[in-house]
Amino acid sequence: MKDTRTDIVNLAEKLIRTRGYNGFSYKDISAPLNIKNAAVHYYFPTKCDLGLAVVNRNRNAFEIETRKWSKESPDVQLSRFMKIYEDSRAAKMVCFMGAFGSSYDSLPSELQGALTIAGAEIRLWLKQLLTKGLEENVFAFTENIECKADSIISALLASLILGKVTGQDILANVRNVINNTI
Amino acid sequence: MKDTRTDIVNLAEKLIRTRGYNGFSYKDISAPLNIKNAAVHYYFPTKCDLGLAVVNRNRNAFEIETRKWSKESPDVQLSRFMKIYEDSRAAKMVCFMGAFGSSYDSLPSELQGALTIAGAEIRLWLKQLLTKGLEENVFAFTENIECKADSIISALLASLILGKVTGQDILANVRNVINNTI
DNA sequence: TTGCTTACTTACTAATTAGTAAGTAAAATT
DNA sequence: AATTTTACTTACTAATTAGTAAGTAAGCAA
């Protein structure tokens, strides 16, 4: 029993996170899946719909995953968060935020909106995690919490981009510094 | 006396750094400059040539600028480096590395190569700067130099992307942490 | 003044793009 | 058994894409 819709979103996500939202076409989806271009339009009438499916699936997965971890120690939760980036690196993909965000001005406004919300959700989650970690003396940094959260997210996000460009494991270096300054 | 070639590269860079390499066409260049699409091809036969011009101009400018600063104190040089990102943020653009890098797999291999070299150059410069700063006791961090350099570059790079997506001044938060942990 | 180079324009092309309308076979529902 | 829905395909279209070939007007050089 096949699930064409999921196959389409899976492939779209991979294409978006390696080639960018403007770097693939419906043919790049339909040909490998052995379906016709119109079959992709059947599930996702516009390209924006397809982009939204990718963004919202990531938002949803993040919410479900982080909720699962929510009873664990903040340092464990942070490790799990960084593991998401490690998995992306292993798959030679950048994160969805980096993929869409760097061509933000070219995106349909509906996609921009979904992305803005996703960014706010991730920042809020990490800020709350860092706050909890400080309270429980699991973390010991002295910087402003929001500044620290933004630094961590940014470093992780770009480590995947810079890693693709340089061919080096930039993420490993970034994780090293995060672990030493938290 | 007009310089059409420079006008083209200026506009191409702006489009690339707001919409991505695959997010603009020759028409987006020719129409605003009131020239014909073939005039753009006259200066830059292929889109790859245009992308290369943008990457190489950035590489060249970086080399010239950093050479100018080379006699200054490492902390001043780091501030000047961060000022480049501040200027990008003010212009609502991401950096060229973030713009191209996030769609790396879709780029012509010649462009990929130029980008890889550019990434190595920037990393090397920052590593040398941090080394000098430690030697002169201007910096006091204890982490591995390469890890620290990669963390700083990554945080700055992604702060522009995340800033566009969230509408917040993420760069200010990132700079705050860099200044407090160097 | 003749020829050459520069900086374009005119007028295309072939391919690709996202997107649509109409049809169809199989499965599910009534 | 008849009808409707699902999951597509066939067959398009209009617009846009990067790219090209041939022409031209102005400036410069021999």
Token look-up 């260049």 returns B29
Low-confidence ranges of chain A (pLDDT < 50): none
**A57 to A28, A30, A54, B57, B112: CA distances (angstroms):** 20, 20, 5, 39, 30
Q: Where are the domains of chain A?
A: 4-181
CA distance A29 to B168: 34
CB-based contact A181 B181, cutoff 8 Å: yes
Asked whether strand D has any atom less than 7 Å from the CB of B47, the reply is yes
**Chain A nearest CA to B107, separation (Å):** 8
CB-based contact B170 A159, cutoff 8 Å: no
pLDDT score of A2: 73
Q: Which letter does DSSP use for residue B23 in this model?
A: S
Q: Which letter does DSSP use for residue B36 in this model?
A: -
Percent of chain B's residues with pLDDT above 70: 99
Q: Which residues contact A163 (CB under 8 A, 6 or more apart)?
A: A89, A169, A170, A171
| Of B67, B80, B33, nearest in space to B175 by CA | B80
Asked whether strand C has any atom less than 7 Å from the CB of A45, the reply is yes
Q: Nearest residue to nucleotide C6 when comparing alpha carbons to its C1'?
A: B42
Q: Which letter does DSSP use for residue B123 in this model?
A: H
**Chain A nearest CA to B33, separation (Å):** 20
Q: What pLDDT digit, counting tens, does each position of B120-141 carry? A: 999 999 999 999 999 999 999 9
Q: Which letter does DSSP use for residue B156 in this model?
A: H
pLDDT score of A58: 98
Selected residue of A14, A28, A103 to mutate for chain B interface (largest B Cβ count, 10 A): A103
CA distance A23 to B107: 9
Residue-wise burial string across A130-142, b where 16 or more C-beta atoms lie within 10 A, e elsewhere? beebbeeebbebe
- Which of the nucleotides lies closest to B45 (Cα–C1')? D19
DSSP chain A: ---HHHHHHHHHHHHHHHH-TTS--HHHHHHHHT--HHHHHHH-SSHHHHHHHHHHHHHHHHHHHHHHHTTS-HHHHHHHHHHHHHHHHHTT---HHHHHHTTGGGS-HHHHHHHHHHHHHHHHHHHHHHHHHHHTTS----S-HHHHHHHHHHHHHHHHHHHHHH-S-HHHHHHHHHHHH-
Q: Which of B153, B161, B165 shows the shortest C-beta gap to A162?
A: B153
Decide yes or no: CATH 1.10.357.10 for domain A4-181. Answer: yes
CA B135 to chain centre: 27
Residue B1 clears pLDDT 80, i.e. is over it: no
**Which residues from chain B sit within 8 angstroms of residue A150, using beta carbons?**
159, 162, 170, 173-174, 177
CA distance A68 to B146: 34
pLDDT score of A1: 59
CA distance A95 to A155: 12
CA distance B80 to B87: 11
Q: Please report, rounded to whole angstroms, the spatial distance between the CA atom of protein residue B41 and the C1' atom of nucleotide D19.
A: 8
Please tell me the pTM assigned to this model. 0.94
**B61 to B18, B50, B66, B154: CA distances (angstroms):** 20, 17, 8, 20
CA distance A75 to B131: 30
Burial class (CB in 10 A: 0-12, 13-18, 19+), B167: exposed
**Chain A nearest CA to B117, separation (Å):** 8
Q: Calculate the average pLDDT of chain B.
A: 96
| Of A96, A125, A122, A123, nearest in space to A111 by CA | A96
pLDDT score of A48: 97
Task: For residue A175, give the amino acid letter.
Answer: R
